[in-house]
Amino acid sequence: NTASETKEETKLPKVASAPEVTNIIEPHKGLNQPPVPLKMERVGENEVNVEMTSQITDIEISKGNMYKAWTFNGEAPGPVVVVKEGDKINFTLKNMDPSIPHSMDFHAVHAAPSKDFIDVMPNESGTFTYPANKPGVFMYHCGTKPVLSHIANGMHGTIIVMPKDGYPNDGEIDREFVIVQNEWYKYNDLDDMTNGVPTNVVFSTKALKEGQLNTNGTASGLVDTPLIAKVGDRVRIYVNNVGPNEVSSFHVVGTIFDDVYIDGNPFNHMKGLQTVMLPASGGAVVEFTVTKEGNYPIVTHQFNHATKGAVAILKVTKD
Amino acid sequence: NTASETKEETKLPKVASAPEVTNIIEPHKGLNQPPVPLKMERVGENEVNVEMTSQITDIEISKGNMYKAWTFNGEAPGPVVVVKEGDKINFTLKNMDPSIPHSMDFHAVHAAPSKDFIDVMPNESGTFTYPANKPGVFMYHCGTKPVLSHIANGMHGTIIVMPKDGYPNDGEIDREFVIVQNEWYKYNDLDDMTNGVPTNVVFSTKALKEGQLNTNGTASGLVDTPLIAKVGDRVRIYVNNVGPNEVSSFHVVGTIFDDVYIDGNPFNHMKGLQTVMLPASGGAVVEFTVTKEGNYPIVTHQFNHATKGAVAILKVTKD
Amino acid sequence: NTASETKEETKLPKVASAPEVTNIIEPHKGLNQPPVPLKMERVGENEVNVEMTSQITDIEISKGNMYKAWTFNGEAPGPVVVVKEGDKINFTLKNMDPSIPHSMDFHAVHAAPSKDFIDVMPNESGTFTYPANKPGVFMYHCGTKPVLSHIANGMHGTIIVMPKDGYPNDGEIDREFVIVQNEWYKYNDLDDMTNGVPTNVVFSTKALKEGQLNTNGTASGLVDTPLIAKVGDRVRIYVNNVGPNEVSSFHVVGTIFDDVYIDGNPFNHMKGLQTVMLPASGGAVVEFTVTKEGNYPIVTHQFNHATKGAVAILKVTKD
Ligand SMILES: [Cu+2]
Ligand SMILES: [Cu+2]
Ligand SMILES: [Cu+2]
Ligand SMILES: [Cu+2]
Ligand SMILES: [Cu+2]
Ligand SMILES: [Cu+2]
Ligand code: NA
Ligand code: NA
Ligand code: NA
Ligand code: NA
Ligand code: NA
Ligand code: NA
Ligand SMILES: [Zn+2]
Ligand SMILES: [Zn+2]
Ligand SMILES: [Zn+2]
Ligand SMILES: [Zn+2]
Ligand SMILES: [Zn+2]
Ligand SMILES: [Zn+2]
Ligand SMILES: [Zn+2]
Ligand SMILES: [Zn+2]
Ligand SMILES: [Zn+2]
């Protein structure tokens, strides 16, 4: 009986195979810029300086499958940015890409896109200032044309704007995680990105504090290295589906979301959800309790996507 | 004029053709286990025993297209399970499959998946206990790897946890139905399940009381045998999209949902919806009034899916 | 550097190429019926007469790509219909198509579909009466079989039922627009409509008042001719995703929705959304403020669809 089961499982599509020929543009060949840490400095009660890079960095999407990603700060998704409701953001993009312009579109801010989200030329820097006056879990991404190529090649991430008055249950939260869902397509293949199905759909986690786990969007990263909680913990996840193309049906196996805030705004309160629907670019804050020790898989319940990598494990231990 | 209309309709894709060669695993060949009724017994004010089987049973998805389904209790989707908010569920899975382990993941309960949702070996039984302490319309499914194969081959269904204090309009409801949406793919073809589009998208209804209509997920079952209501009835549908892959845009032609409760939780109240968005695994309670006699089609308004079978008829008569 | 960028952009899939051979049915060949204006007349405090046509009219989906659309009133999407909550609608469909029956399914009304949404034969008229007693942004479409062909060939549009007591912020709105999202497939190819991916996904705007911009669903119409607003304006969009198959992740770059009403019902209030999830046929009212001059792209953030045309520009000027 076990034999037939094993045979069946070997039919799993090989999602990890590296393409023989890739579409790497000439100036990116051989380029692998080491990740540059996000720079963030609070310069006033309601003002922060944020400096990020656009750069070309190899990401191992799955075992042996290297993707020469277009990234923010050498991560894909990029590092999480956390500010407070009411902050003015002074943002600098340092474009380390030798050949392609890049830009930054923060969904968290009010800005004139044609001025504040404009292209920064190769080897140049651009500085922009805008307010983040709505709380929530927002996507950011490169907005340079063709936008789909820039997002799908890795230029996406999450900015959290913490609500001025917090979330209703802030005092009861034992653990907080950020989880980002993104898709990967054939390397820099705009036709596949436009008309195909994703090669991989993946999760990553991003560190809210120094020393916390911080990963790229890979097919098994959060299965090989699980997130950790303790029995009885109330867990909060800031979740964001950065696409570029697919919606997400975000679900944690073995529990039910006690409280959900759509796009992370405290006003958009739902209770007792098994699964939260995330549009492309959509976010949420979800809170739940883990009552017994064991492993709790986290998935998009669009199971073709879970099969392609969108699974994380939350490991719950007794002490 | 009628001639050209007829010609046009013959172009409908043949979704009913049975595949010549199938992927039936050796121990399932020739196996067709008769449906075993769900066993359910209330053993205390807040405690129920539920016993289900996993078994291999032929389902006629569309005229002449037999699918040797992996099922719960010989139905696909499985039988609806109804408990009350606050119930402890003592659940037994009797695995009648001679060759493959199966398991049960109830979205309605708090449990440690790695212990409480574990595999039950062929020809064995497993018993698990967990609380159902949130009201709603939840998916259940087999969680054995590869999960997508187990769900897509038929191992899914709906568990309703009735809210302790009921729904706001319980006193005004004249008819209640359960409708489940699921997809079918090429037989046991994990590559098609992962990268293809569904061969059929279908609805089924499940009996809430003995003697009510109870069907499998088939391409025209609920068109050939409609649901029935009377003029002036306020109708409630417990709807659940069990996927495995697609989201649903659930809609009833000719009316508007007066009240919708997302995932069936009374807190998540919306009004006046034409269509309710269901993520993969998502549920809802929808209530509406039928004001005139006639046939009201029920569809997912993702019309490629309706074209593939996701249509039911609600027949409204005068007396 | 600019050279490589340019080279990259030439890889954009050619979505505009006209098919060499089309599937035009015989009686439609050479037929191009000029648009007939929607007739609408208020005949009582709570009663309106609405007269529409079904007709065959060429629509230029993208530069040089003519689609012999099946339309309401020669537009695809059809003209926006605006009534008031509580109105009785006396609706006449004048079927100018010489060969195919058509019909009208308004999501805004209570009706018996098998009587009130029935086929009107070629060169005939049908009159139907039904109430519009729920406020919101609703889809309408032809419901003649095969429904997917009729919708995908262009027979869809939006009916707005204005709430009796208005929306909470009616007094603060400076600009109002209607935006409709729809998909185009290979010409009249039901297999492509059922199993393929859209050739184009597009936006259109519909005039709420005489003299306002009113467009068909084309790949670059609202980029070539932007919507217009002024700095500081609070803008409202009545948005409707008429599909037929895809969901939408509706987003305005550079701003955040202050207030969202799902399906346009004032009860379904959300705040601070970056993106609103629209099921197939779903609608919403979204309100936001534009704080600086410049161009604000409007997209579905399912970026494969934006790449296929679902982009509009909101041009914000100082005075
Ligand atoms: Cu970029
Ligand atoms: Cu599940
Ligand atoms: Cu199973
Ligand atoms: Cu409809
Ligand atoms: Cu029609
Ligand atoms: Cu964006
Ligand atoms: Na791909
Ligand atoms: Na769960
Ligand atoms: Na298929
Ligand atoms: Na309807
Ligand atoms: Na197509
Ligand atoms: Na935005
Ligand atoms: Zn570029
Ligand atoms: Zn609340
Ligand atoms: Zn819980
Ligand atoms: Zn298995
Ligand atoms: Zn309520
Ligand atoms: Zn009603
Ligand atoms: Zn027809
Ligand atoms: Zn409100
Ligand atoms: Zn704003």
Q: Which residues of A touch B146 (CB under 8 A)?
A: 8-9, 12, 307
User: Looking at residue A21, what is its pLDDT?
Assistant: 61
Nearest-by-Cβ selection for B249 from C25, C26, C281: C281
- Residue A42 pLDDT greater than 60, yes or no: yes
* Identity of the amino acid at B249: S
Q: How far apart are CA A56 and CA A266, in angstroms?
A: 37
Judging by beta carbons within 10 Å of its beta carbon (0-12, 13-18, 19+), is residue A318 exposed, middle or buried?
exposed
Determine how many CB atoms are found less than 10 A away from the CB of residue A43.
Answer: 10
Q: How far apart are CA A27 and CA A100, in angstroms?
A: 9
Where is C193: in which H helix or E strand? helix C190-195
User: Looking at residue B14, what is its pLDDT?
Assistant: 45
For the record, the structure tokens of B62 come out as 């569309």
Judging by beta carbons within 10 Å of its beta carbon (0-12, 13-18, 19+), is residue C267 exposed, middle or buried?
middle
Chains touching B, CB cut-off 8 Å, 3+ pairs: A, C
- Asked if residue C227 lies in contact with residue C315, where contact means CB atoms within 8 angstroms, the answer is yes
A244–chain C nearest CA distance, Å: 6
Q: Which residues of B touch A251 (CB under 8 A)?
A: 107, 281
Report, as an integer, the average pLDDT of A198-227: 97
Tell the residue number behind the tokens 């009374």, with chain if given.
Answer: B266
DSSP code, position C28: G
Q: Give buried/exposed letters for A163-195 (b at 16+ CB in 10 A, else e).
A: beeebeeeeeeebebbbbbbbbbbbbbbebbbb
Nearest-by-Cβ selection for A194 from C1, C4, C307: C307
Nearest-by-Cβ selection for C279 from B275, B297, B307: B275
Ion ligand 21 nearby residues (CB, 5 A): C 289
DSSP code, position B27: G
Most B CBs within 10 Å, among A201, A256, A276, to test the B interface: A256
| Ligand index nearest the alpha carbon of residue B95 | 3
- Asked if residue A260 lies in contact with residue A275, where contact means CB atoms within 8 angstroms, the answer is no
Q: Which residue has the higher pLDDT, A10 or B304?
A: B304
If chain C, 319 residues long, is cut into consecutive pieces of 10 residues, what is the mean pLDDT of each piece?
A: 39 46 91 98 98 98 96 98 98 98 98 98 98 99 98 99 98 98 98 98 97 97 98 98 99 98 98 99 99 98 98 96
- Residue A91 pLDDT greater than 80, yes or no: yes
- Residue A207 pLDDT greater than 80, yes or no: yes
Where is C151: in which H helix or E strand? helix C147-152
Q: Which residues of C touch B295 (CB under 8 A)?
A: 112-114
Tens-place pLDDT, residues B228-251: 999 999 999 999 999 999 999 999
CA-based torsion, C302, C155, C86, B227: positive or negative: negative
- Asked if residue C258 lies in contact with residue C271, where contact means CB atoms within 8 angstroms, the answer is yes
Quickly list DSSP for B236-260. EEEEEEEESS--EEEEETT--EEEE
| A277 contacts C275? CB cut-off 8 A | no
- Asked if residue C177 lies in contact with residue C227, where contact means CB atoms within 8 angstroms, the answer is yes
Most C CBs within 10 Å, among A91, A107, A201, A270, to test the C interface: A107
- Residue A309 pLDDT greater than 80, yes or no: yes
Q: How far apart are CA B232 and CA B292, in angstroms?
A: 7
3-class secondary structure, C66: strand
CA angle A212, A218, A224 (to 5 degrees): 65
Residue of C nearest to B3 (CA): C99
| Ligand index nearest the alpha carbon of residue A189 | 7
| B274 contacts C281? CB cut-off 8 A | yes
B151–chain C nearest CA distance, Å: 22
Residue of B nearest to C282 (CA): B275
Query: From ligand 14's centre to the CA of C57, what distance in Å?
Result: 50
Where is C163: in which H helix or E strand? none
Nearest-by-Cβ selection for C256 from A114, A134, A280: A134
Query: From ligand 19's centre to the CA of C148, what distance in Å?
Result: 10
For the record, the structure tokens of B231 come out as 């003029």
Q: How far apart are CA C65 and CA A58, in angstroms?
A: 41
C112–chain B nearest CA distance, Å: 5
Query: From ligand 11's centre to the CA of A300, what distance in Å?
Result: 27
Tens-place pLDDT, residues A95-147: 999 999 999 999 999 999 999 999 999 999 999 999 999 999 999 999 999 99
B162–chain C nearest CA distance, Å: 24
Residue of C nearest to B311 (CA): C147
Residue of A nearest to C302 (CA): A245
Residues 6+ apart with CB under 8 A from C318: C230, C231, C293
CA angle A261, A263, A264 (to 5 degrees): 50
The confidence band for A22, taking pLDDT boundaries of 50, 70 and 90, is: confident
User: Looking at residue B98, what is its pLDDT?
Assistant: 98
Query: From ligand 8's centre to the CA of B98, what distance in Å?
Result: 28
Query: From ligand 2's centre to the CA of A92, what distance in Å?
Result: 42
Q: Could you tell me the residue ranges of all domains in chain A?
A: 26-162, 170-317
Q: How far apart are CA A309 and CA A204, in angstroms?
A: 11
Nearest-by-Cβ selection for C146 from B12, B273, B274: B12
Q: Which of B154, B204, B196 is nearest to B177 (CA)?
A: B204
Partners of A132 in beta bridges? A87
- Asked if residue C109 lies in contact with residue C128, where contact means CB atoms within 8 angstroms, the answer is no
For the record, the structure tokens of B220 come out as 């025209």
Q: Which residues of B touch C279 (CB under 8 A)?
A: 247-250, 275-277, 301-302
CA-based torsion, A83, A88, A90, A93: positive or negative: positive
| C302 contacts A245? CB cut-off 8 A | yes
CA distances in angstroms from B10 to B4, B220, B224, C145, C184, listed in the order given: 10, 17, 20, 11, 21
| C116 contacts B254? CB cut-off 8 A | yes
| Ligand index nearest the alpha carbon of residue C262 | 20
Q: Give buried/exposed letters for A242-260 (b at 16+ CB in 10 A, else e).
A: bbbbbbbbbbbbbbbbbbb
User: Looking at residue C310, what is its pLDDT?
Assistant: 98
| B25 contacts A294? CB cut-off 8 A | no
Q: What is the 3-state secondary structure (H, E, C) of B112-162?
A: CHHHHCCCECCCCEEEEEEEECCCEEEEEECCCCCHHHHHHCCCEEEEEEE
Q: Which residues of C touch A243 (CB under 8 A)?
A: 249, 301-303
For the record, the structure tokens of B13 come out as 């894709």
Partners of C136 in beta bridges? C161
Query: From ligand 3's centre to the CA of B144, what distance in Å?
Result: 5
* Order of strands, sheet of A136-141, starting from the edge strand that comes earlier in the sequence: A81-84, A156-162, A136-141, A105-106
Report, as an integer, the average pLDDT of A283-311: 98
Percent of chain A whose pLDDT exceeds 70 = 93
Residue of B nearest to A258 (CA): B134
Q: Which residues of B touch A4 (CB under 8 A)?
A: 25-27, 99-100
Class of domain A26-162: mainly beta
Q: Which residues of A touch B107 (CB under 8 A)?
A: 251, 256, 274-275
| Ligand index nearest the alpha carbon of residue B70 | 3
Percent of chain B whose pLDDT exceeds 70 = 93
Tell the residue number behind the tokens 């999602």, with chain if given.
Answer: A15
Q: What is the 3-state secondary structure (H, E, C) of A123-190?
A: CCEEEEEEEECCCEEEEEECCCCCHHHHHHCCCEEEEEEECCCCCCCHHHCCEEEEEEEEEECCCCCH
B67–chain A nearest CA distance, Å: 18
Most A CBs within 10 Å, among C12, C223, C252, C303, to test the A interface: C303
Q: Which residue has the higher pLDDT, A203 or B20?
A: A203
Q: How far apart are CA C187 and CA B7, in angstroms?
A: 16
Query: From ligand 1's centre to the CA of A140, what distance in Å?
Result: 11
Q: Which residue has the higher pLDDT, A2 or B205?
A: B205
Q: Which residues of B touch C111 (CB under 8 A)?
A: 254, 292
* Identity of the amino acid at C221: G
Report, as an integer, the average pLDDT of A191-201: 98
3-class secondary structure, C116: helix
Tens-place pLDDT, residues B124-144: 999 999 999 999 999 999 999
| B303 contacts C152? CB cut-off 8 A | yes
- Residue B16 pLDDT greater than 80, yes or no: no
| B254 contacts C265? CB cut-off 8 A | no
Q: How far apart are CA B261 and CA C182, in angstroms?
A: 28
- Residue B168 pLDDT greater than 60, yes or no: yes
Tell the residue number behind the tokens 């078994």, with chain if given.
Answer: B55
Where is C120: in which H helix or E strand? none
Q: How far apart are CA C227 and CA C224, in angstroms?
A: 10
CA angle B274, B277, B282 (to 5 degrees): 135
Q: How far apart are CA A21 and CA C83, in angstroms?
A: 58
Q: How far apart are CA C290 and CA A110, in angstroms?
A: 8
For the record, the structure tokens of C9 come out as 């952009």
- Asked if residue C204 lies in contact with residue C217, where contact means CB atoms within 8 angstroms, the answer is yes
Judging by beta carbons within 10 Å of its beta carbon (0-12, 13-18, 19+), is residue B45 exposed, middle or buried?
exposed
- Average pLDDT, rounded, for chain A: 94
Q: How far apart are CA A301 and CA C223, in angstroms?
A: 36
* Identity of the amino acid at A38: L
| B277 contacts A271? CB cut-off 8 A | no
B216–chain C nearest CA distance, Å: 23
Query: From ligand 12's centre to the CA of C123, what distance in Å?
Result: 47
User: Looking at residue A14, what is its pLDDT?
Assistant: 45
Residues 6+ apart with CB under 8 A from A166: A266
Q: How far apart are CA C264 and CA B177, in angstroms?
A: 27
CATH superfamily of the domain spanning B170-317: Cupredoxins -  blue copper proteins (2.60.40.420)
Report, as an integer, the average pLDDT of B193-221: 97
- Residue B292 pLDDT greater than 50, yes or no: yes
Nearest-by-Cβ selection for A107 from C274, C296, C300: C274
Q: How far apart are CA C26 and CA C6, in angstroms?
A: 43
